[in-house]
Each structure stands twice: as structure tokens, then as C-alpha cells.
Amino acid sequence: MVKSMPTIEFIDVTNRDGEQTARISLSKLQKTVINWLLDEMGVYQSEMGFPLNPHERGYINANVDLTQDDSENGPLMKRIQLSGWSRAVAGDVEKALSQTKIRHLNLSISTSEQMLTWKFRGKFSKEDIIKMMVDSVTAAKQGGAITAGVNAEDASRTDLGFLIEFAQAGREAGADRFRYCDTLGHDDPMSISERVGTIAREAQIPIELHCHNDLGLAVANSVAGAVAVCEAGQDAFINTTVNGIGERAGNADLVSCILALKYSAKWGKTDYITPQIDLTKSWKIANYVANAFGVPIPINQPGVGANAFAHESGIHADGALKDRHNYELYDYEALGRGEKIEIPTGRVITTGAHGGASGLEYVYNQLDLGFADDEHMRETLQLCQIANLHNQAPLTREELWLIYHYPKQVRELLTVIL
């Protein structure tokens, strides 16, 4: 079936760019649950981590297995692609592909004069940068990569002519996408639209928008740029993180980008957004990620913040009660909100690093799950103990369910070998 028009897909980088944020981190089990929830939401790809890092390998391989039908439960993740980030260095790419099961890669190298002069200290010319990128794409495709994207770090401060040359060379070498990185959040909606629209037309390659929020424009820049790419005839991909978590002031928030493409005055009428996106999963994933990082959702966060549908002003309350659309642009049910949250005030039984058999059985009974035999129970208890040590937090329903149904993969992702 031939597509009638370009589309906008989402490549979430919570487990890579988000997780490398200063002062916060995720366990491998938490990163796995995030991949699973992104898949449920219809996200195209998760940039899940760094395949060259030894402590990522078990997690990466186990997650790739969870996308394949190799267990009695079938694949946990049905649609999502799992990708890894690598420097655009052929040797790094070869190791990433030989040491892990990852088969989707994003290959990154700096392109701006600032970076060439002050990061690389004049060691590489522009010609060297293109050669390194081309060599890394060649290594990826020869090594079995299904897709390879080429990332221009600091693209927003890079000469436009050089970006076009870089993207064209990547396409000719076999790259599937060009990632335009607004690494310092330098662009605005007009500048990024003009630049990526030109690159899309000249280089004839799909484009990813990777925008940071240093000026508070990451969502606007991402959506404006993606629409411009589609209008130039190419597919667009928006890099996001859940709740906008990321380096310095953060990245483009996943839910906010979706809302902008569905409900804003102009972009909401473009119909470029992929139909696979399920916005009703927003509340669940936003809260899981907030709890996993230990970073609360801001009260005024679009869609999922505590005040996103709260009204106190008499005029606003009266208007919302008469017709919600007087003061609500979209329905809270569209984001999976509306259910009451019950908090137990009596006895609470948990399972974790110090848990035992009776407590474990009680906890799993609350999930309507029982154990086949004593061996099954003992294996699950051990994995729950280790997972709790990794998380340093109580195990969630999603984590408990995952441990129960996919013990082999959970054991692998919890195992770190250096």
C-alpha cells in the first residue's frame, strides 16, 4: 500500500537522552517498562540506550528478545523498534552490532564550527566529519543494521549548506534518516521550519527533529519543524521524552507534542500525525516515568499535570460545568484520566529485597496471579528481591507483572557483567 502523504512518527529518547540527565537515573527494569508502555502508546521507536556500554548489554539483548515471539507468552512489545545511540565511528558501530542484538542505530557526530573548533580542537575538517559519518553508516549496514540514522549534533548552529551536504552523503551511503539536533535549544519555530524544510527538499531524506528546551521552545520547534518536513514531501520523526525530562532544561515532551499535533489551531488540521498513537496511554506512562525518576509531574504540565483540568475561578468553574469545552481544549478522558485513585489506609503487604513467600503470594493474588509450583514461586521471589535492589523503590504492578510472565528476560536485564 502506497502512502498518500508524509507522516509524523515519534522516536522517544527517554531511555537514552532522558536517562543521561544529571542527578537522576533509571534501573534497567524501569527502562524496560518504559519501552513496553511506549509500545502500548504506539510510539514508533525507543532510543533505548548505549549498546557499547557493558552495563547496557544484558538490558538491550533482553529487550530485543521481548519484541520477538520466543516465549510461551509471545512478544511483550508488538510494534516498537528498539534503537541504540553510537558515535559515528565505524569501530564503535561494529562493536555495538557484534556485542548486542540491537539492529537499529542512530549515529551521531558534531557538525558546527563551534564544535569542530572547540570540541574537536580543529582535529577534523568538514570533509573528515562526512567521511566518518559515511564510514559508520557503511559499517552499520554491512554489520546487519536494519536502519541507521545520521545525527548532526549542534545542527542549529551549523552552516545550512554543510548540513545539506552531510544529509545527502548520509542518504547515498544508505542512511534511513537525518537527525537535525537543536542541541542547545537555539532555534525558534520559524528558523527550524525554514532550515529543515530546505534540507528535506534538497537532500530528499526523512528528517528527525531533536530539540532541547533551553529557551522553552522544544515542543513548538519540534512540531513546527516536523510539519515543515512533511510539507517538503518527506516523513518526519519527532524525538521526545516523557514529561520533557532531559539534559539541562529538558527535551520536547511526548504528550505535549501529540496534543499540539491534534488540537492546535493550524498544526491540528494537518493530519500528518501517525494514527497508531494512543493518547489514552498518556496518564499511565507520565506517572510511571515520574515515579521511576523520582521527579514529580509539574502541576501545570499540559495534559497530565494536576491542574490541567482544575478550575477555581467562579467564571471558569461555571463555564466548565455548563460545557467542558468552554474552558477545556480537549477532554481529560482522551489522556486516560478520570478514574479515581484508591490509597489503602490499613494493612499494606509489599514484596522486595527482604520479602518472603507468604508476602509474595499475597501481592500476586492481588494481581489475580498464582504460582504453578514452589519452583516458580521461588524464582519469582528471587527476581523481585533483585529488582527491588536495582530500583531502590517498591515494585509497581507493571514490574511485578513483567517479572511473573517474562522471568528469563528479566533475569538477563538485571544481570550486569563488566
Range of the domain at 26: 8-293
Whether 405 and 320 share a structural domain: no
pTM over 0.85: yes
Whether 317 and 253 share a structural domain: no
Whether 191 and 266 share a structural domain: yes
Q: Is 338 exposed, middle or buried (0-12, 13-18, 19+ CB in 10 A)?
A: exposed
Inside any domain, residue 346: no
What is the reported pLDDT for 71?
Answer: 63
What is the reported pLDDT for 69?
Answer: 79
Whether 257 and 371 share a structural domain: no
Whether 287 and 191 share a structural domain: yes
Give, rounded to a whole angstrom, the gap between the first and last alpha carbons of the chain. Answer: 46
Whether 196 and 283 share a structural domain: yes
Whether 39 and 89 share a structural domain: yes
Whether 248 and 176 share a structural domain: yes
Q: What CATH number did the domain enclosing 182 receive?
A: 3.20.20.70
Inside any domain, residue 301: no
Inside any domain, residue 328: yes
Q: Which residues pair with 345 in a beta bridge?
A: none
Q: Are 106 and 50 in contact (CB under 8 A)?
A: no
Query: Which H helix or E strand runs over 135?
Result: helix 126-142
Inside any domain, residue 228: yes
What is the reported pLDDT for 394?
Answer: 95
Whether 128 and 45 share a structural domain: yes
Whether 252 and 375 share a structural domain: no
HSE (side-chain half, CA atoms, 13 Å) at 384: 27
Inside any domain, residue 319: yes
In three-state form (DSSP H/G/I as H, E/B as E, the rest C), the secondary structure along 154-178 is CHHHCCHHHHHHHHHHHHHHCCCEE
Region for residue 255 given its phi and psi (left: phi exceeds 0; alpha: psi -120 to 50; beta: otherwise): alpha
Cell numbers placing 209: 527533529
Whether 316 and 383 share a structural domain: no
Inside any domain, residue 15: yes
Would you mind telling me the total number of residues written for the chain in this entry?
A: 418
Tens of pLDDT along the chain (418 residues)?
456 799 999 999 999 999 999 999 999 999 999 999 999 999 999 999 999 999 999 999 999 999 997 667 899 999 999 999 999 999 999 999 999 999 999 999 999 999 999 999 999 999 999 999 999 999 999 999 999 999 999 999 999 999 999 999 999 999 999 999 999 999 999 999 999 999 999 999 999 999 999 999 999 999 999 999 999 999 999 999 999 999 999 999 999 999 999 999 999 999 999 999 999 999 999 999 999 999 999 999 999 999 999 999 999 999 999 999 999 999 999 999 999 988 889 999 999 999 999 999 999 999 999 999 999 999 999 999 999 999 999 999 999 999 999 999 999 999 988 7
> How many domains is the chain built from?
3
Whether 335 and 369 share a structural domain: no
In three-state form (DSSP H/G/I as H, E/B as E, the rest C), the secondary structure along 259-328 is HHHHHCCCHHHCCCECCCCCHHHHHHHHHHHHHHHCCCCCCCCCCCCCCCCCCCCHHHHHHHHHCHHHCC
Inside any domain, residue 348: no
Inside any domain, residue 349: no
